[in-house]
Structure formats: structure tokens, C-alpha cells
Structure 1
Amino acid sequence: VYVPINGRGLQGATSHHLGQNFSKMFEIVFEDPETNEKIFVHQNSWGLSTRSIGAMVLLHSDNTGLVLPPRVAAVQVIIIPCGITVNSTENERKLLCDKCGEYEKKLMVA
């Protein structure tokens, strides 16, 4: 992944030729149909790493937050009421949840 902000690259996926290292270690063989000889397999490994998630966050975030593309996140906003503790009164909880509801309505029409 090319990161245009700083001109750097970020590895997102891997591809490795493992040769016969693991097939010899774990005795993974096949039988040659012509000679009936047992031969250790040659292996490859491919994977999309969790760095891909980091690359997406890096490309779609800044100091004010993260905005993911709709194909990645259909829900673009999550409102989390913070500050409710065991000591919060029922009225304080209701006020906070009501305020979150107000923000939700404002965002829905935006």
C-alpha cells in the first residue's frame, strides 16, 4: 500500500515460497505416479495480514477521527455515552442518553 501522506509504503499481504522445509519437518509427501517414489511437496504461503486494517486506518484517518469508506463500514457513526458509573443517578443516566439521542437526530438529517 502506498501512503501518499508521507510517501512511504506499507506491506499489506505476504507471499512466501516455503520450499520443502515444512514438508520434510512434518513428512508431507505425495507418491510420484510414474515411479511410485514418495516425494516431499513444495509449499507456498499467501496471506492478507492484519496490517491491511492498519493501512486502511492510516489512509482514512487524521487527528479528528476515522471515516471509513461505505463499502467497509455501512454504519459511519457510533455514539457511545461515556461517563455513566455505578454512582450515576437515574436522572444523570437519562440526561446523558437523551443528549445522545439529540446528537443522533442531528446526524441523521445531516
Structure 2
Amino acid sequence: MILVVNSIFLIIGILLTFQLVMTFVANLVGHSAISFMKLTYVCNPQTIHDRLINRLFYAIYGIPHYFYTRFMVRYTYLKARLLFFIWSIAFFFVSFIFIAMYGIFIEWFERVL
């Protein structure tokens, strides 16, 4: 049972790490990083492979891509970059809180079993 819980949290942690790294890259590089992310997305997927690629796109790039494009559409360039930077800091804090909760949960779960 503990192996299943550890595996689930490990997968979530790996995906969260991808999201954090791509958020950091988007903050450093900006629009070029987002353009690179868009290269992996397949419009109008017709095969299972295309659908799998789109799922991987959302798993690896989804959160930073969504917020960066959302801020760029709604605000001016400088304001959008500033909002994305502030959002990134909040995202890092939430991620580290999740990691701390994971550690506390696993220790509690091991004591219960």
C-alpha cells in the first residue's frame, strides 16, 4: 500500500518538477520558450499518438503555458511579464508546500501502517 502511495506522489512530483522548470524557463526566456512549447502541441489530433502527445504537452507545459498566454492576451507586455513573474513566485511556494505536505503525509502513513 505504501508503495502505491509513494508511486502516485512520485509521479505527481515529477510532473510538478517539469511544470516548475518550464515556469522558470518561461520567466527567463519569455515568448521564445512559449513558442517552443507550442511546437509540441498537435492541432486537431486524429490518431492515438497525436492525442498522447497532447496529453504530454499538458503534463509538461500546461500550467505555465496557460497562464503566460492568458496574461499576454489580457495585459500589455510589461504588465503581463510582471504578473507572470509574481504568479511564478506563488506557484513555487505552493509547490514547496505540496512537497512538505507529501513528506508529512508519508511519515504519518508509515506510522499508521
TM-score, scaled relative to structure 2? 0.30
Structure with max Cα Rg: 1
Query: RCO higher in 1 or 2 (8 Å CA, sep ≥ 6)?
Result: 2
TM-score, scaled relative to structure 1? 0.30
